[in-house]
Amino acid sequence: MTASREIHLVRRPQGMSRPEDFAVVERPVADPREGEILVQNLLMSVDPYMRPRFNADQALGEALIGGGIGRVIGSHNVKFAVGDVVRHGAGMRERFVSDGRGVSIIRPDPDLPLSVHMHALGGTGLTAYGGLLEVGRLKDGEQVFVSTAGGAVGSVAAQIAKIKGCYVVGSTGSDDKAAWLRDVAGLDAVINYKTEPLREALTAATPKGVDVYFENVGGAHLDAALTRMNPHGRIPVCGMISTYNGGGEGVRNLFLLIYGRIDMQGFVASDFGHLNAAFVSDMTTWLKDGRIKYQETVLDGFERAPEGLIGLFEGRNAGKMIIRVAE
């Protein structure tokens, strides 16, 4: 028997989340029984998708849903050994017992920080890799446009395209992110869609048109991109953040798909299991070579998760927001 702290939602936020919406609660953790493991959380992910759930399926008085990386510190399950580093979706808990379902062993590279498994070497990286290379069928040297290129997926997609010798334009919503994309990630052109007229800026930035549009936004972004697509272009659809649930502006330029023979295809990261080995190999190399850059905002201390959540929703993070629970 041990103890574990958990982050609880204690009331549903009205508008922006506030510190009083959360509580750090200590709970006993039973010893693992036959078939079970005990996991020490090391890193917890703080993600935008969490906010809407605070007013939906996130239970009050229970650990917040979420994923992270932990270390097995006790095992009665033959598939896991003490010391294994694992990826899990077990929520915001310092330590937890699991029967192993939803827990997968990862083999961290000793020359890379463990945290990269939360983004570039994790699900968001695989999403970018599979979406661009498999769904988007990217060819070396093509013309690429990535929307929300400052985001976790977009920033990796844009940099993979650069590695493949492409001309890459990204859109983002802040000057800070635009500067990072231009000066650090090395994109060829960056559009701040909040301060520039998107369609005109995209036209100016893509003199050779667009072969692959990595779609994260929908709505006006998609309409603008459709006007720039080259024949036989591809639009892998990773997200449509402006139009979820039918909201936002309707898309009016889809007729341009026809004569352009454009292929627009939705996908999710779980489609890419067959690519994982190639992805881990490529991405490990690229990260070690410094060819994939990333930003992280790491808060030290389990109890700082509410601060991380609030900061994320307020946009105070640069890159991936991570809570470090233990070394």
Candidate list 222, 269, 280, 305; residue touching a second copy; CB under 8 A: 222
Residue placing its CB nearer to a second copy in the complex, 56 or 258: 258
Output phi, psi for 170, to 5 deg: -125, 150
Q: Does residue 153 touch a second copy according to CB under 8 A? A: no
Residue placing its CB nearer to a second copy in the complex, 48 or 266: 266
Residue 313: both structure tokens together? 């929703």
Q: Does residue 49 touch a second copy according to CB under 8 A? A: no
Is the separation of the CB atoms in 141 and 313 below 8 Å? Answer: no
Least distance CB 122 / a second copy (angstroms)? 19
For a second copy, the binding residues in 7-26 under the rule CB under 8 A are none
Candidate list 267, 293, 295, 297; residue touching a second copy; CB under 8 A: 267
CA distances from 173 to 181, 313, 316 (A): 12, 15, 13
CA distances from 107 to 45, 184, 276 (A): 18, 28, 13
Is the separation of the CB atoms in 88 and 67 below 8 Å? Answer: yes
Candidate list 47, 109, 176, 271; residue touching a second copy; CB under 8 A: 271
Residue placing its CB nearer to a second copy in the complex, 110 or 259: 259
Q: Does residue 275 touch a second copy according to CB under 8 A? A: no
Least distance CB 56 / a second copy (angstroms)? 17
Residue placing its CB nearer to a second copy in the complex, 53 or 324: 53
For a second copy, the binding residues in 234-263 under the rule CB under 8 A are 237-240, 243-263
Maximal CA-CA distance, the chain: 66
CA–CA separation, 11 and 60 (whole Å) = 7
Is the separation of the CB atoms in 158 and 129 below 8 Å? Answer: no
CA–CA separation, 285 and 295 (whole Å) = 18
CA distances from 140 to 133, 276, 281 (A): 10, 21, 19
| Number of chain positions touching a second copy (CB under 8 A) | 33
Residues that bind a second copy (CB under 8 A): 218, 222, 237-240, 243-268, 271
